[in-house]
Amino acid sequence: MPVFGPISRQNLVRYLKQLGFKGPMSGGKHEFMLKDRLKLILPNPHGKDIGKNFLHAILKEAGISRSEWEKL
């Protein structure tokens, strides 16, 4: 069960795959993941964790609620 807070990019990708996203796929400057017609842009790996606010924005764009995220 992932905590809603700072997370590594690797773990973000792993959890998004559990939620049905495919990828990551390369596309220009940023990789992305797909689920049906939704294209979710991923942050570039810079060795830093993804902060809580940025995670919230990513999940909102993906249509994933906080409770759904924490149930994984």
What phi and psi values does residue 39 have, to the nearest 5 degrees?
-110, 115
| Fold adopted by 9-70 | Metal Transport, Frataxin; Chain A (3.30.920)
Beta strands in 1-72 (DSSP E): 22-25, 32-35, 38-41
Under DSSP, is residue 2 helix (H, G, I), strand (E, B) or coil? coil
pLDDT tens digits along 33-46: 999 999 999 998 88
What does the pLDDT read at residue 1? 61
Q: What is the pLDDT of residues 46-72, one digit of tens each?
A: 888 999 999 999 999 999 999 999 998
The pLDDT assigned to 2 comes to: 79
Confidence tier at 21 by pLDDT (50, 70, 90): very high
Q: What was the pLDDT predicted at 27?
A: 81
Task: Give the Å distances, CA to CA, from 26 to 14, 31, 42.
Answer: 16, 4, 10
Q: What angle do CA 55, 61, 63 make, to 5 degrees?
A: 100
Domain boundaries, the chain: 9-70
